């Protein structure tokens, strides 16, 4: 993967900020949904859809596209917002989030939004789906395949044994075409992960199942892109990128507070959040000028 320029980093950071603003307006309109996780993963999704992925929004069924599987479906506002910004569907449709008849359900539903790779909702199932895709691609195409399967996971999902079963199978089959990205934001709906079910040493657990492991700052565009490049250069095993993120990133009143895991902002909170994000956007622009 070619090195990213300072200008490209600026463009991605501005786009991530715009996506965060879209998330807030979507959640306000819906009156329900999850806030912390979507804001925290905006940088990762922006890097994927605007720099890393081999995809074509005008041809979402293109056979040679990379696949993106969102396991923790409750953070779908960031997926929908990023896809709309990338041109998969009109931006105006974002305001239909969670409404009756909308294609943008509270968890991704492929029957309604056919450009999705999977439906998701039950936590921990996404890695199994991605492993199945990667294994099928390996069987069909062997080492010649240029597709990459990306599995986006939460840290709280690791409380479920299905994650570890899928990780073990992927390691055993040396699925080099599989990259998992873990949102290590340290919160889940009932509190902090290390209080509810301690996960550390998380990286060592993935290594034990024969995965190549990297730990990065999930808000640093250069680190995100560099980590994916390194993962794609590993040919003997699957890769996992543990992205350390701040839940509620970009809105100081939301950041690191597990209470924002599963609730939307009200009108006053949304206005405050949008003001904070617009101020941050101006700062990003000025820092790169």
Query: What are the tens digits of pLDDT across the range 226-268?
Result: 999 999 999 999 999 999 999 999 999 999 999 999 999 999 9
Give dist(CA 105, CA 141) in Å, integer.
34
Burial of 8 (0-12, 13-18, 19+ CB in 10 A): middle
Question: Which pLDDT value is given to residue 3?
Answer: 76
Contact 179/232 with Cβ under 8 angstroms? yes
Query: What are the tens digits of pLDDT across the range 207-218?
Result: 999 999 999 999
Query: What are the tens digits of pLDDT across the range 35-53?
Result: 999 999 999 999 999 999 9
Contact 124/163 with Cβ under 8 angstroms? yes
Report residue 164 CA to chain centroid gap: 19
Question: Which pLDDT value is given to residue 141?
Answer: 81
Rama region for 46: left / alpha / beta (φ>0; ψ in -120 to 50; rest): alpha
pLDDT over 90 percentage in the chain:
92
Strand, coil or helix: 98: coil
Is the per-residue pLDDT at 195 higher than 80? Answer: yes
Question: Which pLDDT value is given to residue 252?
Answer: 97
Query: What are the tens digits of pLDDT across the range 109-164?
Result: 999 999 999 999 789 999 999 999 999 998 888 766 779 999 999 999 999 999 99
Question: Which pLDDT value is given to residue 10?
Answer: 95
**Mean pLDDT on 59-78:** 96
CA angle 50–51–52, rounded 5-degree value: 115
Return the HEC string of 242-268.
Answer: EEECCCCCCCCCCCCCHHHCCCCCCHH
Per-residue pLDDT band at 287 (split at 50, 70, 90): confident
If we measure between CA atoms, which residue out of 52, 258, 264 comes closest to residue 154? 258
Structural domains present in the chain? 6-287 (3.40.50.970)
Q: Which has more pLDDT, 288 or 22? A: 22
Is the per-residue pLDDT at 84 higher than 70? Answer: yes
Question: Which pLDDT value is given to residue 1?
Answer: 61
Contact 216/210 with Cβ under 8 angstroms? no
């Amino acid at each position: 993967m070619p090195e990213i320029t300072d200008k490209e980093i600026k463009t991605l950071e501005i786009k991530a900020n715009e996506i965060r603003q879209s998330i807030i307006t979507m959640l306000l309109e819906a009156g329900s949904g999850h806030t912390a996780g979507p804001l925290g993963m905006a940088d990762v999704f922006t890097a994927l859809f605007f720099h890393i992925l081999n995809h074509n929004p005008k041809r979402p069924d293109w056979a040679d596209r990379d696949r993106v599987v969102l396991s923790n479906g409750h953070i779908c506002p960031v997926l929908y917002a990023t896809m709309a910004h990338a041109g998969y569907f009109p931006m105006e449709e974002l305001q239909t989030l969670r409404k009756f008849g909308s294609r943008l359900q509270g968890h991704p539903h492929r029957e309604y939004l056919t450009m999705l790779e999977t439906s998701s909702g039950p936590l921990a199932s996404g890695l199994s789906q991605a492993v199945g895709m990667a294994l099928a691609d390996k069987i069909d195409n062997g080492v010649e395949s240029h597709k990459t399967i990306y599995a986006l996971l939460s840290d709280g999902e690791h409380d479920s044994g299905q994650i570890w079963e899928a990780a073990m199978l992927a390691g055993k089959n040396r699925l080099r075409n599989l990259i998992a990205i873990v949102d290590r934001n340290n919160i889940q709906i009932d509190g902090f992960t290390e209080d509810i079910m301690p996960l550390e040493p998380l990286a060592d657990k993935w290594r034990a199942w024969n995965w190549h492991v990297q730990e990065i700052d999930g808000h640093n565009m250069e680190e995100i892109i560099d980590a994916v490049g390194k993962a794609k250069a590993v040919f003997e095993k699957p890769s996992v990128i543990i992205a350390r993120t701040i839940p509620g990133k970009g809105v100081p009143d939301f950041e690191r507070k597990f209470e924002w895991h599963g609730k939307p902002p009200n009108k006053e909170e949304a206005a405050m959040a949008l003001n904070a994000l617009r101020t941050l956007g101006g700062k990003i622009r000025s820092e790169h000028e």
